[in-house]
Amino acid sequence: MGVQKKLALVAGAGAGLGQSLLARFEAGGFTPVGLGRTQPATTVGAFHTLDLADDRAVPDVISGIIAQHGPPSIVVHNTAELVIAPLTDTSLADYQRTWTSMVQTAVLLAQATLHPMVRSGGGTFIVSGATASLRGGAKFSAFASAKFALRGLTQSLAREYQPVGVHVCHAILDGIIDTPRSRELHSLDPAKMMKPEDIAEAYWQLAQQPKSTWTHELDLRPASEGF
């Protein structure tokens, strides 16, 4: 009987970065499993369609995945909900939606995976952040407030779980990720955009760090990006 491959779980595994992460983890010898509201046209590994903010579905689905593949060694939280509007045009529902989509999903993912990771000897839990994790721009009040909360949550998880063997990292993605959709939305030279496969490689390297030199926060940006 062969040795069972370790599980890499990506929540928010849409086209672009999510699928690039799954492809990189598969290339590294892991069993890739994606989670998300909408399954991309092409997927790497298994994909489970669900609302990542559903407090009943998420624990059930993840427990089923763990029963099949064992506890994950790598978990990535990669969900996002972008609202760009002046304060007067940003409704309370917009704030609630961004928090639910980015923070509540991370809480549910952490609750379903971190204890199994600890019991199995540890692993890596990575959260995708953004420029708005550090500074709130005009018309980004809903998005930035949720991203700030997500960063704070990740810091708390790191301080609680790193001493028991789980590497918790917050990755700030300071730039536009190069996808067909982002090329339609932004008038930006693709050479100045972040390549999903390059971000995936950085995440892979985070998951390989020895315990004596764990990174908690990593910021990535194109060489042309001002900061």
The answer on pLDDT for 186 being more than 80 is no
In this structure, is residue 215 part of a structural domain? yes
CATH of residue 67: 3.40.50.720
Q: Is the pTM of this model over 0.85?
A: yes
For the chain, the straight-line distance linking the first and the last C-alpha, in angstroms and rounded, comes to: 52
Q: How many domains does the chain have?
A: 1
Range of the domain at 23: 7-220
| pLDDT at 1 exceeding the cut of 60 | no
3-state class (DSSP) for residue 8: strand
Q: List b or e across 143-164, with b for residues whose CB sees 16 or more CB atoms inside 10 angstroms.
A: bbbbbbbbbebbeebbeebbee
* Average pLDDT value over all residues in the chain: 95
Residue pLDDT, tens place only, 136-158: 999 999 999 999 999 999 999 99
Question: Which pLDDT does position 185 carry in this prediction?
Answer: 75
Q: Could you give the CA distance from residue 152 to residue 147 in angstroms, rounded to a whole number?
A: 9
Asked if residue 2 is part of any domain, the answer here is no
Residue 1 within any structural domain of the chain:
no
Within a domain: 225? no
Residue 73 lies in a domain: yes
Please tell me which residue, 32 or 4, carries the higher pLDDT value: 32
Q: What is the dihedral of CA 204, 208, 209, 211, to 10 degrees?
A: 140
Query: Does some domain include residue 112?
Result: yes
As a whole number, mean pLDDT of residues 179-194 equals 82
25 in a structural domain = yes
- Would residue 165 count as lying in a domain? yes
